[in-house]
């Protein structure tokens, strides 16, 4: 298990946040060329504080659906896919994802497309989705390395807050910084506005950060365009 220490009974790593990366690519899964997008996604999620499993490299279509369902059952907070979001006949990741989702979150997918559209007009062709399945947030990213970087830029601004909300965290009360509502994450500087963990230095909260990474009653997750 990547970055999560000892795994819990269900398979996903025990960590404040657990993520799974799935690469959808017929050719990469067949060994025709190496997976380049998946490792970038995994690195970006680790930098956001997630324990990451994968990338799992699978053919597009039904195998993507199977990987998503397995990840939801394992209890990951987030599953990020890369690849299979374009308009070619073999790009079927959005269809596979839609079959798994309980609710779509169109704003995330729209923000990812908008992030790259000014630089690469063909970013508008990505059909990637985002939404929730049980307690897991699922996000489709394009397969290109540029598309992955654009997607990670968007996720860096909202992913932790989205996970905290799905775990039952309070909405931010206003435009100001969101105070801590639970103990500080070990090794993380404490934001002003709530009780600090013993020995944790107090720092001013960044107004751009819309939510804290610690939630009262936080539970360990069970288990872990082309």
Residue with tokens 């992030």: 115
Contacts of 59 (CB under 8 A, 6+ apart): 24, 25, 26, 29, 30
65: enclosing H helix or E strand: helix 62-74
- The CA distance from 123 to 110, in Å, is 11
Q: Within 10 A of 117 (CB to CB), how many other CB atoms are there?
A: 15
- The CA distance from 153 to 158, in Å, is 9
Averaged pLDDT for residues 137-150? 97
In a domain, 200, yes or no: no
- The CA distance from 83 to 27, in Å, is 11
State the pairing for strand pair 190-191/136-141. Answer: unpaired
66-88 pLDDT, tens digit per residue, is 999 999 999 999 999 999 999 99
In a domain, 143, yes or no: yes
Q: What does pLDDT average to over the chain?
A: 79
pLDDT score of 184 more than 50: no
In a domain, 212, yes or no: no
b/e sequence 54-83, b meaning 16+ C-beta within 10 Å = bbbbbbbbebbbebbebbbbbbbbbbbbbb
pLDDT score of 1 more than 70: no
198-222 pLDDT, tens digit per residue, is 444 444 444 443 333 333 344 444 4
In a domain, 211, yes or no: no
Please give the pLDDT value at position 118: 87
Cross-strand bridge partners of residue 51: 18
pTM here?
0.71
Please give the pLDDT value at position 181: 32
Please give the pLDDT value at position 226: 58
Range of the domain at 24: 18-166
Query: The domain spanning residue 67 has which CATH number?
Result: 3.40.980.10
Cβ-contact 184, 216 below 8 angstroms: no
Q: How many domains are there within the chain?
A: 1
Please give the pLDDT value at position 169: 79
In a domain, 185, yes or no: no
In a domain, 98, yes or no: yes
In a domain, 202, yes or no: no
3-class SS shares of the chain: helix, strand, coil, % to 5: 35, 15, 50
pLDDT band for position 16 (cuts 50, 70, 90)? confident
In a domain, 96, yes or no: yes
Averaged pLDDT for residues 52-58? 98
> Is the torsion defined by CA of 214, 219, 224, 225 positive or negative?
negative
Angle subtended at Cα 122 by Cα 120 and Cα 126, rounded to the nearest 5 degrees: 115
């Amino acid at each position: 298990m990547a970055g999560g220490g000892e795994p819990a009974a269900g398979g996903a790593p025990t960590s404040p946040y657990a993520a799974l990366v799935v690469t959808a690519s017929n050719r990469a899964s067949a060994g025709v060329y190496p997976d380049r997008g998946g490792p970038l996604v995994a690195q970006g999620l680790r930098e956001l504080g997630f324990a990451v499993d994968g990338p799992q490299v699978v053919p597009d279509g039904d195998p993507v659906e199977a990987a998503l369902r397995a990840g939801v059952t394992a209890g990951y907070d987030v599953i990020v896919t890369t690849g299979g979001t374009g308009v070619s006949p073999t790009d079927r990741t959005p269809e596979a994802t839609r079959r798994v989702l309980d609710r779509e979150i169109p704003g995330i997918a729209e923000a990812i497309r908008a992030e790259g559209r000014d630089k690469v007009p063909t970013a508008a062709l990505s059909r990637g989705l985002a939404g929730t399945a049980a307690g897991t947030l699922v996000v489709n990213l394009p397969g290109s390395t540029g598309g992955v970087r654009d997607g990670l830029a968007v996720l860096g601004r909202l992913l932790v807050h989205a996970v905290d909300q799905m775990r039952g965290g309070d909405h931010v009360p206003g435009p100001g910084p969101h105070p801590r509502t639970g103990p500080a994450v070990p090794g993380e500087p404490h934001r002003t506005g709530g009780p600090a963990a013993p020995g944790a230095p107090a720092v001013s909260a960044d107004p751009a950060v819309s939510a804290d990474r610690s939630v009262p009653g936080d539970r360990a997750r069970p288990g872990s365009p082309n």
